[in-house]
Amino acid sequence: MTIMQIAGTIAFSFLLLVLQSTFAHLVPWDMFVPNAALTVVLYMGLHDHDVGRGALVSFGIGYLMDAFAGSPIGLFTFVSVAVFLISKVAAWRLFLQGWIFEIILAFLLALAAGCVVLAIRALFDQDFGSLLSHAKIVVWRATATALVAPFVFRGMKWIEQVSARTKRSSGRKVLRG
Amino acid sequence: MSFLARYRNVFICIVTLVTPFLFLKSNLADPAKLTAFDRILLTISTPVQWVTTATAETVGQIWSKYIFLVNTNEENERLRFDNARLKAENAVFLKTEQEVRRLRRMLMFKETFTGELRASRVVARVVGRGVSEQFRVDRISLDMSGTDGLVKGLPVVTFEGLVGQISRFEGGYADVMLSADRKSYVPVFVQRNGAQGILRGTGELDRYTCEVEYLLRSDEVREGDQLFTSGIGGKFPEGILAGTITSVRRENTGLFQRVVVEPAVNFSRLREVFVIMDSAEVMSTVGDRDE
C-alpha cells in the first residue's frame, strides 16, 4: 500500500461518510442506512498484505466514523480495527472470489461490527433498554452494508489501479532521468 | 531482523486496538470517578476530537449547502408559489386592515361628535365617482337605499372633515356636490381668531382647492390656519373642519383678501361618509317647500 493509496483510501472513506450522512435522511426506512466506510476497512483486510499499515489506516477511518457519527471517541475506531483484523483472518482462511462472497462476508462482518458496538455499549452504558432497540437495527444495517459492499470494493480497486499506474509512470521517469 | 521489526505488526495491532478502547473508557467514565490517566487521555483527545469533528461538520455543511442540492429546484418552486400566495393574502389583509382602521376612525368620530347630531347621522358608502380630465374627483355618488328623509343640501362629512352637500337624489342613490365645487358655498370661521367668511370651491380640474370669500383685509390670517364650519345659516352644523389655509394674498385695493384653502378631505380616497340628516336650515327649507 503506497502513500498515495493510503491517502486515496482515507479520502474515499471520507467521501463515503459525507455521502452516508447526507443521504441517510433520504432513505425512506432509516434502519436501512449502510455503513459504507466499514466496507473500505473490510476490503483492506481482504486485499492488503501489510497488517500494520492496514490497522493504522483502519484506525484513521474509524476515527473519522466517530467524528461523523458523533459517537464517543474510540467506539468506531475500535470497531474498525477489530473488523480489519477479523477480515484479515478471514482472508487467510477463505478463498474469496466474486461479488456473492463479497456480499456474504460484508454482511457477516457488518453484523459482527454491530455486535461489537452493542457489546461495548453494554459494557459502558449499561442501558439495556436502548440496547435492545439498537440490536434490531444491527441486522438491517448489516444487510444494507452488504448490498453496497461490491460497489465500494470496485471503488477501492479503482484507487489501487490509479495509484499503481501513477507509481509506474513516475518510476519510468526516474529511469529515463 | 530486529525484535521491533519482527513484531512491528503485532505491536501496531495491539496499540490500535487498545488505544481507542482506553479513550472510550475515559470518555464514557463518570466525571466524578475519573482517574489521573483518564484525565491525561481526555486532555490529549479533546483538541484532536474538536478539530476532527469541526472538519467533518464543515465538509458536511459545504456538501449539503453547495453541492447536494437535489431537492433545491423543487423547493424553490414551492417557495415561489408560497411567496406568491402569501403576497396575495397579505394584500387582502392590508386592504382589510385599512378598512378596519378607517371604520374605527369613523366610529370614533361618530361617538365623539357633539350631542344632538349623534343620532341623526347616516353612514353611506361611496358607490360612484365623477372624475375630471386631470383625474380629480369632482362628484361622488352615495348608496342611500333604505334611508328616508333625504333632501337636497344635506351636509356630508367624514371623520376628516367636510365633504360637501347632497345635490341630487333618486332611487336610493344620492349625488354629492363637493366643497371644492364652484357652486359650493359654506359659511366658515378661522379657528385661531374667529374671522368669518364663505368657503367657496374654485372648481379647478387638476387640484382640490377652495377660496374664502368676504374675509376682511383687516382679519389677520396666515398659512396653516384651520377653517371650521360656523353654523351660520343652519345648513352646516358648527365645528366641522372645512380646510387649511395654504396661501394668503392681500391686494393694495379692495375690502377683502384672497385666501386659498386646501379642503380637509382628500376626495379621491373617500369610501364611506356620514350624511347629517337633521340640519335645521335644510329641514325648514324643505318644510317651506312642502307647504
The minimum CA-CA distance between B18 and chain A, rounded to whole Å, is 8
Judged by CB atoms closer than 8 Å, whether chains meet at A67 and B21 is answered as no
Give the pLDDT score at B119.
46
Interface membership of B64 toward A (CB under 8 Å): yes
Q: Is-contact A36 A22, C-beta < 8 A?
A: no
More confident residue, A159 or A69: A159
Residue of A nearest to B7 (CA): A52
Give the pLDDT score at B286.
37
Q: Which of A133-147, A151-165, B109-123 has the lowest mean pLDDT?
A: B109-123
Interface membership of B145 toward A (CB under 8 Å): no
Residue of A nearest to B60 (CA): A18
| Beta-sheet strands, E only, within A37-152 | none
User: Which of B12, B24, B64 minimises the CB distance to A74?
Assistant: B24
What is the residue type of B66? Y
Give the pLDDT score at B244.
94
Give the pLDDT score at B1.
57
Interface membership of A59 toward B (CB under 8 Å): yes
Q: Does domain A3-158 have CATH number 3.90.1150.10?
A: no
State the Cα–Cα distance between residues A77 and A79, nearest whole angstrom. Answer: 6
Judged by CB atoms closer than 8 Å, whether chains meet at B64 and A82 is answered as no
Give A27's pLDDT tier (boundaries 50, 70, 90). Answer: low
Give A1's pLDDT tier (boundaries 50, 70, 90). Answer: low
Q: What pTM value is reported for the model? A: 0.50
The minimum CA-CA distance between B88 and chain A, rounded to whole Å, is 33
Give the pLDDT score at B185.
92
Which residues, other chains included, contact B147 with Cβ-Cβ below 8 Å and sequence gap of 6+? B122, B124, B172, B275
Question: Which pLDDT tens digit goes with each residue over A63-113?
Answer: 888 877 777 778 888 889 988 988 888 877 666 667 788 888 889 888 888
Judged by CB atoms closer than 8 Å, whether chains meet at A68 and B60 is answered as yes
State the Cα–Cα distance between residues B283 and B278, nearest whole angstrom. Answer: 7
Question: Which pLDDT tens digit goes with each residue over A2-21?
Answer: 778 888 888 888 888 888 77
Question: Which pLDDT tens digit goes with each residue over B150-205?
Answer: 888 899 998 889 999 999 888 889 999 999 999 999 999 998 888 999 999 998 87
Interface membership of B24 toward A (CB under 8 Å): yes
Burial class of B53 by CB neighbour count within 10 A (0 to 12, 13 to 18, 19+): middle
Judged by CB atoms closer than 8 Å, whether chains meet at B16 and A75 is answered as no
List B177's β-bridge partners, or say none.
B139, B165
- Asked whether this complex has an ipTM greater than 0.90, the answer is no
Residue of A nearest to B54 (CA): A67
Interface membership of A55 toward B (CB under 8 Å): yes
Interface membership of A60 toward B (CB under 8 Å): no
Name the 3-class secondary structure at A72: coil
pLDDT in tens, chain B (291 residues): 577 777 888 888 888 888 888 887 777 777 777 778 778 877 877 777 777 777 777 777 777 777 777 777 888 889 999 998 899 888 888 888 888 887 877 777 666 555 445 447 788 889 888 887 777 888 899 988 888 888 888 999 988 899 999 998 888 899 999 999 999 999 999 988 889 999 999 988 788 999 999 888 888 899 999 999 988 888 888 888 999 999 998 877 778 888 999 999 988 888 889 898 865 544 444 334 333
Give the pLDDT score at B291.
33
Judged by CB atoms closer than 8 Å, whether chains meet at A72 and B27 is answered as yes
- Kindly write down the DSSP assignment for every residue of chain B, as one continuous string: --HHHHTHHHHHHHHHHHHHHHHHHHHHS-GGG--HHHHHHHHHHHHHHHHHHHHHHHHHHHIIIII--TTHHHHHHHHHHHHHHHHHHHHHHHHHHHHHHHHHHHHHHHHHS-HHHHTTEEEEEEEEEEE-TTS-EEEEEEE-TT-----TT-EEE-SSSEEEEEEEEETTEEEEEETTSTT-EEEEEETTT--EEEEEE---SSS--EEEES-BTTS---TT-EEEE--TTSSSPTT-EEEEEEEEE--SSSSB-EEEEEESS-GGG--EEEEETT-HHHHHHHHHHH-
State the Cα–Cα distance between residues A30 and A28, nearest whole angstrom. Answer: 6
- pLDDT mean across residues, chain A: 80
Q: How many CB atoms lie within 10 A of CB B17?
A: 18
Interface membership of B63 toward A (CB under 8 Å): yes
pLDDT at residue A169 greater than cutoff 80: no
User: Which of A21, A64, A85 minimises the CB distance to B13?
Assistant: A85
Name the 3-class secondary structure at A95: coil
Give the pLDDT score at B123.
85
Give the pLDDT score at A15.
85
Which residues, other chains included, contact B146 with Cβ-Cβ below 8 Å and sequence gap of 6+? B172
Closest CA to B240 of B220, B214, B264, B221: B264
Give the pLDDT score at B246.
94
Domain chopping of chain A, boundaries = 3-158
Contacts of B28 in chain A (CB under 8 A): 72, 124-125
Give the pLDDT score at B60.
72
List B282's β-bridge partners, or say none.
none
* CA distances to A64, A123, B163 from A141, in Å: 19, 22, 79
Contacts of B14 in chain A (CB under 8 A): none
Task: Choose the mutation target among A73, A76, A116 for the interface with B, i.e. most B CBs under 10 Å.
Answer: A73
Interface membership of A131 toward B (CB under 8 Å): no
